[in-house]
Structure 1
Amino acid sequence: MLNMNGLIKLGKAKSQEWINKGFIIANNAAERMLYKDNLILSDKSAYDVVCEKGLMSLKRYHPLQEDAIVVDGESVPVSSEKKKIPLVFVPPLGATAQIFDLMPTRSLVRYYLARGYDCYLIDWGDPDRSHAGLTFEDYVTEWMPAAIESVQELTGQKEFSLFGYCMGGLFCLLYAAWSKNPDLRNLVTVASPIDVRQVGPAGQLLNVMHHASKVLSRVNNTPLKSMVRPEHLHVPGRLVALSFKLTNPLGSLISYWDLLTALSDREALSEHTTMSNWFEDMADYPGGMIQEIISKLAVGNQFAQGRVRINGGTASFSDIKANLMSFAGDNDKIVGIRAARHLLDVVGSQDKSFYVVPGGHAGVFGGSSASQFAWAMSADWLDERSN
């Protein structure tokens, strides 16, 4: 026979549990709306700014004090053996450098610090319309050399390694080809587009654009790059973020659902807010760089040819001699596997390798499985080449 008093007590307990959960959800939702910055976990690792030039700044990260760190649920011991060759991370434009130090439990910087590396991160800053004229020359022939010289002075070590994500990988390749710096020992690229015509329908469209632009240039007797002023091509960060989301509209909808389900768990809410902030809080894309991408990467396809015009000369990828490791994501809708793999055909490196690993364009570098694949594989590879 049912115990009525017991049922009443159980009902009251459940009601109180629901009320408490409702308060938690309401408080978390209010914090998410009003004080979102309190929930963002990125860019928390300790560092010093050791070089500044133009918009660029260079961060040098402090060694870890822990004996071990947690990376996506796995314990990673902090190595007592320090690598001789410093490592410089190079981010893309648009997407901020936060992806390298996304959150304490998913930070490429912390992972490599644990592996014993002296880690540096170039930050390209926050350009506005007054910086519309910035081009590859500014990033590759002015700012990167300044950052690398600072690393060499601080460490007393001439040799160094570069690690670039997406456009950051292109900056690394251009720097290597343009400078012919013999001190560049190792180079890692992740999701960097080389042959952009190998991307299905978009590639076919670029082929059409290439032929049309040649005709247009001849008719107007004007190079394609000079037809539109850089300030008219400057792209605000909010549009950069929107274009990124449009490559995976279903993923954006799922993200909103994930937000709702995370409201009852502050830790889960912090992780979701941090990741979504990286997608939403993107920097402006300078108009001069848009010009360069259209004329050199998209229409001219110079990267696929391995010869890029820069700073009044030509940077030849056949002059790149550094050890090279390159990755592509198996589900990358922005930089396909064939677009990235072509790199091996144009560089002069003898020690070169290419791997396809799980993930889309962001996931391959900063997703929950990135530490098991791109991070671990690149660290193991660099370990053999950094002493």
Structure 2
Amino acid sequence: MSISHCFIRRDRYRISAYRLLIFLTLVSTMRNPGLLTRSYFFVRNAIERRTQTEKFIVSDKTSHDVLFSDGLMELRFYPQQDETPFVLDGDAIVPDQQQHRTPILLVPPLGVYHWIYDLMAERSWVRFLNARGFQVYLVCWGAPSKSDAGLSIDTYVNHWLSKAVEQVQEHSGQQQISMVGYCMGGLLTLLWAGAHDRGQIRNIVTIASPIDFHASHVYGKVLRWVKQSTRRVPIPEYFRDSQRFHVPGDILSVMFKMTNPLAGVVSYIDLVRNLSDRDYVTAHLTTREWFNNMPDYPGATVQQLIFDFGIKNSLADGSAMIGKHRSDLTSIRSNLLAFAGKSDNIVSVEAARKIMDLVNTEDRTFMEVPGGHAGVFAGGKAQEHTWTITADWLAQRSD
């Protein structure tokens, strides 16, 4: 079939769909307006979902200033957004007019975009923390490509996070800051603190961040077996090429979905059942964009995750070499709050809890909260648990 025929068929499809919309609009004023009106919106949303998906994507909308950029990475500042009460995920939020002294630096994972912290207006970490009286900053890791396969944890920790901390200190005028990291973002935060913190980091919050890789579900058992089987076997030259470990974003997306394949089916069924509700469709497609639109995972970073953190499980022993710097987790003195999701299929409770055995701070708290790997961070119960606990805990330690 030629391309012209494809365009003709697509146009005919749209014309037919619009005729159906007109028909439903007319009959919606008849005997059963409620049912027919819902049918109209069902069809309209179904068509727009297929033909104009971008209309439903509302992530990354909170106003911000870019303070610093370095290649792929940039640092954002989010000025206070709300001065009057507003509704956030069904709950009334009254903005705190008094600002806490200690600013917050949000650190996202690799393999996803920074806007998971600003998913939508009613499910936005930056807006929520802003309303709770915090100065909010956010690191963006950008979108690595195959040409960035050599990008390693050394760059993320020793260079980019160091720059981000310095910029937050300079912009806020405060010498001490708090850092909040989700998944790999929490791990990068801990690695930075273990290598560079000289009192700059007052508080650390980690959410579903793995430390003991051998304690995480099935793949943890596999890693333990590999370590025992290859203890005296040198790494073959073939595995030293970072290009071979580079993971494209579309492959990463499939791998993530495979951790809970049933969830995708249930989610789609729920979408069909609620297709007449435009707000529901917007929330569904925006959240789906998180899992369908993932950036590449740099090969050199994947190498260290597999060999050093995974097979050797070096972090469980308390330290790891990051470039030319040794990160010693036992040297961390910051106040620490660590979360784990009770039903997380990627990072087990035991894998996240290990940090409690390593840090030498008296003020450390570990929390198990409802949700899987994504739900513990941005699910329906996240604001009630993870978000509120984080804000309350930081508020007591930020003045």
Decide whether aligned partners of structure 1 residues 310 and 225 sit closer, same or farther in structure 2, where only a CA change above 3 A counts: farther
The one-letter amino acid paired with 2:206 is: T
The one-letter amino acid paired with 1:155 is: S
The CA deviation at 1:265 is: 1.0
Structure 1 match to 2:306: 294
**8 A contact 1:329–1:357 mirrored in 2:** yes
2:399 is the counterpart of 1:382? no
2:123 is the counterpart of 1:95? no
Decide whether aligned partners of structure 1 residues 352 and 182 sit closer, same or farther in structure 2, where only a CA change above 3 A counts: same
Decide whether aligned partners of structure 1 residues 22 and 287 sit closer, same or farther in structure 2, where only a CA change above 3 A counts: same
Structure 2 match to 1:318: 330
Structure 2 match to 1:152: 169
Q: 2:361 aligns with which of 323, 332, 349?
A: 349
**8 A contact 2:82–2:131 mirrored in 1:** no
Deviates more, 1:195-204 or 1:302-311: 195-204
**8 A contact 1:262–1:272 mirrored in 2:** no
TM-score, normalised on structure 2?
A: 0.90
The number of equivalent residue pairs is 373
Distance 1:10 1:109 in 2: 41
2:232 is the counterpart of 1:215? yes
The CA deviation at 1:215 is: 2.9
Deviates more, 1:298-307 or 1:254-263: 254-263
1:326-374 per-position Cα deviation (integer Å, ceiling 9, x unaligned): 0000110100100100111011222111010011000001001101111
The CA deviation at 1:18 is: 4.9
Distance 1:10 1:235 in 2: 50
SS at match of 2:67: strand
The CA deviation at 1:303 is: 1.0
Distance 2:381 2:218 in 1: 29
Distance 1:10 1:230 in 2: 60
Structure 1 match to 2:385: 373
Distance 2:83 2:349 in 1: 38
Distance 2:105 2:289 in 1: 24
**8 A contact 1:178–1:316 mirrored in 2:** yes
TM-score, normalised on structure 1?
A: 0.93
2:77 is the counterpart of 1:30? no
1:270-328 per-position Cα deviation (integer Å, ceiling 9, x unaligned): 01111111111111101111101001211010111111111224211111110000000
**8 A contact 2:28–2:37 mirrored in 1:** no
Q: What is the identity percentage for the equivalent residue pairs of Structure 1 and Structure 2?
A: 39
2:163 is the counterpart of 1:133? no
1:163-186 per-position Cα deviation (integer Å, ceiling 9, x unaligned): 000000000000000103311100
**8 A contact 2:217–2:346 mirrored in 1:** no
The CA deviation at 1:224 is: 6.1
Distance 2:50 2:219 in 1: 38
Q: 2:257 aligns with which of 235, 245, 255?
A: 245
2:279 is the counterpart of 1:267? yes
CA RMSD of aligned residues (A): 1.8
The one-letter amino acid paired with 1:251 is: A
Distance 2:352 2:269 in 1: 32
1:183-204 per-position Cα deviation (integer Å, ceiling 9, x unaligned): 1100000000110111243222
Distance 2:238 2:396 in 1: 46
Distance 1:273 1:317 in 2: 39
Structure 2 match to 1:202: 219
Q: 1:258 aligns with which of 263, 267, 270?
A: 270
Distance 2:330 2:197 in 1: 10
**8 A contact 2:107–2:138 mirrored in 1:** yes
1:95-137 per-position Cα deviation (integer Å, ceiling 9, x unaligned): 2222111111111111100000000010100000010001110
Q: Which runs of 5+ in 2 are unaligned?
A: 1-26
Distance 1:371 1:105 in 2: 10
Decide whether aligned partners of structure 1 residues 378 and 224 sit closer, same or farther in structure 2, where only a CA change above 3 A counts: farther
**8 A contact 2:66–2:74 mirrored in 1:** yes
The one-letter amino acid paired with 1:143 is: W
Distance 2:217 2:64 in 1: 42
Q: Any residues of structure 2 matched to 1:35-54 within 5 Å, and which? A: 35-54=52-71
SS at match of 1:342: helix
**8 A contact 1:161–1:187 mirrored in 2:** yes
Structure 1 match to 2:5: none
**8 A contact 2:217–2:345 mirrored in 1:** no
Q: Which runs of 5+ in 1 are unaligned?
A: 1-8, 218-222
Deviates more, 1:64-73 or 1:330-339: 64-73
The CA deviation at 1:70 is: 1.4
The CA deviation at 1:17 is: 5.4
Structure 2 match to 1:3: none
SS at match of 2:123: coil
1:81-105 per-position Cα deviation (integer Å, ceiling 9, x unaligned): 0010110000001122221111111
**8 A contact 2:28–2:34 mirrored in 1:** no
The CA deviation at 1:261 is: 1.6
Distance 1:31 1:241 in 2: 24
2:203 is the counterpart of 1:186? yes
Structure 1 match to 2:6: none
Distance 2:46 2:30 in 1: 25
Distance 1:62 1:11 in 2: 46
SS at match of 1:99: helix
The CA deviation at 1:65 is: 3.2
